[in-house]
Structures are given as structure tokens and as C-alpha cells.
Amino acid sequence: MKWKRKRWPLADQGTFLQKTGELLSKGYRMKDVLLHMQPFFDHRYDQQLQHASLQFEQGASFLHVMQHMHFHPHVQSFLQMPHSQNTFPNVLKNCGLMMTKWSMYQRQLLQIIRYPLIMGLFFIAFLVVLQMYILPLFEGLTTGEKNPYLELLPSLMFQGIQLIGCLIAFSAIAYLALKRFATPVQQINLYLRLPLFKRWLRYYLTYYFCSQLSILFASGCSAREAFTILTTKSNTPFFQEECKRIYEQLTAGERLEEVIAQRPYYDPSLAAVIVMGQLKGDLHQQLDELSANSFEQMDRMLKSVVARTQPILFAMLGLFVFLLFLSVMLPVFQLMNSI
């Protein structure tokens, strides 16, 4: 059967997972859940949902169906973890919340960038016209010694644009080279050296790590069993290597909280949370709580970035417009003085 869409938008993925989790927690069967989803999405995904229902009737797992529907790899990674029938709806709700948040951030960033980008392209086009046609016209109208300030501002602005373009190109090349030649651990270690990115990355790694461990511990896995599963089941290469190293240290006789305290990738409170969870016998709940707190911190930081980015972009655009105004008016003033 051919698919009309290769991948659902993140917002629709989030809605689907959250609604599915809610209906499953109320006792609905998967076939009934998919039937309710068809009118909810205005019948946009009827073909995929009908095919998914057929797959469930044939005994396919939820993960297998989500893979065929091309859901986000992070969702698939969470679904690969062993879970009980009672915890599965909550796993779906959490995955849905994550996709909904990411979709919101993407939409907000696009809205912030779109207007300055369009104005910037218009500005560059006008600057080219100014440099090639308007300024030479003023030069032909003026007599005497050429004013060195006539082309100074346009030249400086062109150089600034070229510098920004070179920085963007260099950053893209460096990122692609890093993805190609550096190991996942080396990449994360480098990202942790970036001051503006370090805190957010730690919150993300803590969120992801605690979420998956919480699911495994709630399913009755021991620490060694959990890290054995994560080494093979995680869709993230970094966590595969990280969990393999942690498993080796646990096998060598080290305690989990001691191993985690040595890792620079997670929130410093994680080791203390593990100790408290082991003492109280509710480690999976403690990890789930820390995961939720880390997600809230990520949410706050991204909202802060979004709130600060727009004024900065508009301030830069206003500065360029002011310089462009000076570039046009200075030749006019020179012409008026020469009359």
C-alpha cells in the first residue's frame, strides 16, 4: 500500500501519541483508538490508520507500526524499551508531549526568522542596486575630487554581509566534518565546551537518560540488565557508547551512583537522586521526576532563547536599514553642496 505522506508533522505525531495514551489508559483497544483518530485528524491519515489497524490485527507491535508510519526516531527509541501494560499509556503521553513541544519551538523559530530573512534579502538586493546603478549616477553628476565617503558605507556593508556568509559557511562545514569524522562521544564533549549550549545539552541528556532508565526500572530490570538493553536498543549512538561504558564499570564492581557522579554529561543532582531512590525503593519514580524537571528546564531555556532572539534580529535589521539610509542620503548631500 502506498503512503501519501512519508512522515507525519511533529505536531500531529504529538497529538496522536497523547490521544492514544489517554484512550488506552481508559481501557480502549488499539483498534477502537485508531477508529477514533480518523475524524480527529479530519480524515487526513485515514489510509495510514487503516493500514495500522490491519497490522495490529495481524499481531504487529506498536513499535513496528510506528516505524512504518515514519514517526520520529526518539519516539521509536522510547517504544523499544520494555514496559508494562500500566506504564505504556504514560510513555505515549510523554512522547507526545515531547513532539508537541518540539513542534512549537520549530514554529516559533520559523516565525521569528522568516520576517528578518525576507527583509534581509530585500536589503541585499537594494544594496546591489545602490552599488551598481545609483552611486555611479551621483558620481557622474558631481565634479571635482571624488568624495571617499561616497562608497564607504556600501562597501563596509558588503564586507559585513560577506563576513556573515563566511561565518555561516564555515560553521556548516565544521558541523558536517564533526558529524562525519568525530565519534559521538567526541561530538558531545565538544558541544559541552560551548557556553551557551552546555546547560541545555546537559538538561537534554539528563531528560533522555532518566526517561529511558525509569521505564526499564519500572519494568523490573536491574541496573546491569537496563544498561545491557540500552546498549543495543537505543537509537542514539552516543547513548549506546555511554551505556556500554557504564555497564563495564558496573560489571567491574562500581556502584551506579559512583559511576554517574564521574560522568560530565548529566545534571549534578542525578547521582544524589539515584541514592535517594535506592534508599526509598522508588528509583524509577525519582528518575521520572528528575526527567520531568529537566524537560521543564529545557522548555524554559528554549522559551528564553526565542524571546531574546526576535528583538536582537530586529535591532540588527534596523541598524542595517539606518546604514542603508545613510548610504543613499550622503551622495545627495554631497550633490547639494557641489551646486
Per-residue pLDDT, 135: 65
Residue count of the chain, please give it: 339
- Establish if 96 belongs to a structural domain: no
- Statement to judge: residues 113 and 236 lie in one domain: yes
Mean pLDDT of 163-176: 86
Q: How far apart are CA 17 and CA 22, in angstroms?
A: 9
Per-residue pLDDT, 147: 53
Q: Could you give phi then psi for residue 264, rounded to 5 degrees?
A: -90, 5
Mean pLDDT of 142-150: 53
Crossing angle of the two packed helices 237-251 and 195-218, in degrees rounded to 10: 60
- Say if residues 192 and 198 touch (Cβ distance below 8 Å): yes
Nearest CA to 104 out of 310, 299, 304 is that of 299
* Residue of higher predicted confidence among 171 and 137: 171
Q: How far apart are CA 295 and CA 191, in angstroms?
A: 19
**Quick one: which H or E segment has residue 86?**
none
What's the distance, Cα to Cα, between the start and end of the chain in Å? 78
Residue 124 predicted with pLDDT over 80: no
Per-residue pLDDT, 286: 92
- Statement to judge: residues 173 and 64 lie in one domain: no
Residue 3 predicted with pLDDT over 50: no
Q: Which range marks the domain in which residue 33 is found?
A: 10-71
Task: Report DSSP letters for 254-320, one per residue.
Answer: --HHHHHHH-TTS-TTHHHHHHHHHHHT-HHHHHHHHHHHHHHHHHHHHHHHHHHHHHHHHHHHHHH
- Say if residues 13 and 75 touch (Cβ distance below 8 Å): yes
- Statement to judge: residues 232 and 134 lie in one domain: yes
- Statement to judge: residues 118 and 189 lie in one domain: yes
Per-residue pLDDT, 248: 92
Q: How far apart are CA 126 and CA 120, in angstroms?
A: 10
Per-residue pLDDT, 249: 92
Any idea which of 126-130, 144-148, 279-283 has the lowest mean pLDDT? 144-148
Residue 58 predicted with pLDDT over 60: yes
- Statement to judge: residues 316 and 191 lie in one domain: yes
Any idea which of 61-75, 125-139, 146-160, 288-302 has the lowest mean pLDDT? 146-160
Last-in-domain residue among 71, 86, 118: 71
- Statement to judge: residues 67 and 108 lie in one domain: no
- Statement to judge: residues 54 and 160 lie in one domain: no
* Residue of higher predicted confidence among 145 and 262: 262
- Statement to judge: residues 185 and 229 lie in one domain: yes
- Statement to judge: residues 133 and 185 lie in one domain: yes
- Establish if 93 belongs to a structural domain: no
Among the residues of the chain, which ranges form H helices? 10-25, 30-40, 46-57, 62-68, 73-79, 88-129, 135-141, 152-181, 184-191, 195-218, 223-233, 237-251, 256-262, 270-280, 283-338
pLDDT digits (tens, 9 = 90+) for 75-99: 887 787 767 677 788 888 888 887 8
pLDDT digits (tens, 9 = 90+) for 265-305: 999 899 999 999 988 888 888 998 998 899 889 888 877 87
- Statement to judge: residues 139 and 36 lie in one domain: no
Say how far residue 303 (Cα) sits from the centre of its chain: 13
pTM: 0.69
pLDDT digits (tens, 9 = 90+) for 193-211: 988 788 999 998 998 899 8
- Statement to judge: residues 114 and 43 lie in one domain: no
- Establish if 184 belongs to a structural domain: yes
- Statement to judge: residues 20 and 153 lie in one domain: no
Query: For residue 146, what is the DSSP state?
Result: P
* Residue of higher predicted confidence among 190 and 116: 190
Per-residue pLDDT, 290: 92
Domains contained in the chain, number: 2
Predicted confidence band at 2 (pLDDT cuts at 50, 70, 90)?
very low
Per-residue pLDDT, 101: 79
Q: How far apart are CA 241 and CA 183, in angstroms?
A: 10
Per-residue pLDDT, 68: 86
Per-residue pLDDT, 275: 92
Q: What sign results for the dihedral spanned by CA atoms 26, 30, 35, 39?
A: positive
Mean pLDDT of 7-26: 88
Predicted confidence band at 172 (pLDDT cuts at 50, 70, 90)?
confident
Residue 118 predicted with pLDDT over 90: no
